[in-house]
Amino acid sequence: MQYFIKTFGCQMNEHDSVKIGAMLRQMGYQPADRPETADFILFNTCTIRDKAQMKAMSEIGKTAVLKEQHPGLVVGVCGCVAQQQKEAVASRFPHVDLLFGPDQISKLPELLEKAPQRKRAVSALDLVNTQADYEFVSLIPPKDQSGATAYVTIMKGCDNACTFCIVPSVRGAEVSRPADDILNEVKGLARHGVKEVTLLGQTVNSYGRGGRADGVSFPQLLRRIADETAIQRIRFTSPHPKDLREDLIQEYVENQKLCRHMHLPLQSGSSDVLKAMKRAYSREHYLKMVKMLQAAVPGIAITTDIIVGFPGETEADFQDTLDMIREVGFVQIYAFVYSKRPGTKAAEMPDDTSLAVKEERLQRLFDLANTVARAHNDSLIGTEQEILIEGEGERPGQWRGRTAGYTIVNVDGPAAVGQMMRVKVSKAYNYSLIGEQVSA
């Protein structure tokens, strides 16, 4: 039996797919190279923006033909579209056999067993909103399937209510994973040769808020991972600016395994827009925390997420966002035009800016972001950096690694995945560098 998983969306979904793949292999399935040869095709979907949802829907639609050719084929849909749009998926795609939400991954074996005997899709879509009931799936992939880097879930869900965001309604309430479970997973990964972990959660720096963390705060968790495991690099995504405190900044000063990088989603540089988004911080607060971080950790790379064209955003608000990009000097920005999500507060807000104007703003934002990122990368030419080799590079014989500051470096071999290498930066592009190996 073979399975094929197609994943859309964020790192949480990517990581969920890895966990699901491990469960399927335990059940005796093997990964298929192409959907055409699979006996089970699963779509792990995302609904953060309308386009993400449409993409998933169109891919699901295409499998109806495959099902005609291969009547034994089981088609499943999981992730955030399954959670949000169960009826729409089931009625638009009668060929779908099973549906489950992000909190019900552990039900997959049961659903797979039931699915072939049923006429209608079988489903498991409850959200788990109570601390005690949530089961985190532990995952240490076998040695031969471990790469240089790995994700580790430290919490699930989100207790915030940003007005543009669908995540709380599809991922449920925050639950923190017990610290000892996290440490055991990181230790196991390190034993299998993983060098770098990225701790995952919607708002990682509120880790511990919802109990279950045995009184361990987020900075304390970072310290324990550094002290008690052999892992060499630690990253996390995403912290929320409103919960960013001095103890986390101080941790960067004292914890040398913590990569000199923070992904700190800004969303908008205008305090008025931030207020309408219910982000619970102002432009001034964000800037104050960033300046504190940059003073404590010189050269720290800051990356961010931005939404352009939130309802009511004026040209002056947008200029505030551009201003913040210059002021902070983000080394990378993930930006999208605002997308109206059903059931969110912002969906009811009046929005009189045309899509054309929003798209033009996004283009101006990218133009500036490219210039700022390039200036940062140019400043690294001639410096020595330590990179972790993650895989092969763009050209034959080339290898690809990342600096602690999250910038990709391509370097000529010989090298191996998982190797820490010192390089001298010889050339810069907007979003990558070329390095030369420096002999020890």
Binding site for ligand SAH (CB under 6 A): 48-49, 164-165, 167, 202-203, 238, 240, 265, 267, 305, 307, 336, 338-339, 341
Among 67, 171, 212, 358, binds ligand F3S (CB under 6 A): 171
Told to check if 99 binds ligand SF4 by CB under 6 A, we report: no
Residue type at position 99: L
238's tokens: 């995403």
Segment holding 356, helix H or strand E: helix 355-379
Tokens standing for 437? 């190996």
| Rounded Cα distance, 293 and 338, in Å | 29
Residue nearest to ligand F3S (CB): 9
Return the closest-CA partner of residue 386 out of 403, 374, 367, 368: 403
Q: Report CA 97 to chain centroid distance, whole Å.
A: 28
DSSP character at residue 416: -
Is residue 47 within the footprint of ligand SF4 (CB under 6 A)? no
Any contact of residue 13 with ligand F3S (CB under 6 A)?
A: yes
Under DSSP, is residue 434 helix (H, G, I), strand (E, B) or coil? strand
Identify the bridge partners of residue 149 per DSSP, sorted by sequence position. Answer: 196
Q: What are phi and psi of 343, to 5 degrees?
A: 85, -5
Identify the residue among 41, 150, 158, 308 touching ligand SF4 (CB under 6 A): 158
Closest CA to 438 of 427, 430, 208, 425: 425
| 60 contacts 78 by C-beta, under 8 angstroms | no
* C-alpha span between 230 and 186 (Å, rounded): 8
The residue behind tokens 């298929």 is: 32
Q: Is 49 in the site for ligand SF4 (CB under 6 A)?
A: no
Stretch that binds ligand F3S, among 45-53, 149-157, 185-193, 423-431 (CB under 6 A): 45-53
Could you say which of ligand SAH, ligand F3S, ligand SF4, none residue 339 binds, taking C-beta under 5 to 8 angstroms by partner kind? ligand SAH
Q: Which is nearer to ligand SF4, 23 or 266 (CB)?
A: 266
What x/- string results for residues 196 through 235 when contact with ligand SF4 is judged by CB under 6 A? Answer: ------xx--------------------------------
- Give, as ranges, the residues between 224 and 283 that touch ligand SF4 (CB under 6 A): 240
Name which of ligand SF4, ligand SAH, ligand F3S, none residue 423 binds, using a CB cut-off of 5 to 8 Å depending on partner kind. none
Q: Distance between alpha carbon 327 and the CA centroid of its chain, in Å?
A: 25
Identified binder of ligand F3S from the candidate list 79, 269, 405, 435, rule CB under 6 A: 79
Opening angle at CA 47, ends 41 and 53, nearest 5: 65
176: β partners: 155
Q: Which of 115, 167, 221, 222 binds ligand SF4 (CB under 6 A)?
A: 167
- Using the rule CB under 6 A, give the single segment among 8-16, 159-167, 256-264, 290-298 that binds ligand SF4: 159-167
Contact region with ligand SF4 (CB under 6 A), list: 2-10, 122-130, 157-165, 411-419: 157-165
Instruction: Report the nearest approach of ligand SF4 to the CB of residue 402 (Å).
Output: 24
- Beta carbons within 10 angstroms of residue 219's beta carbon: 22
Residue from 18, 24, 46, 194 binding ligand F3S (CB under 6 A):
46
Task: Give the interface with ligand F3S as residue ranges (CB under 6 A).
Answer: 9-10, 12-13, 46-48, 79-80, 166-167, 170-171
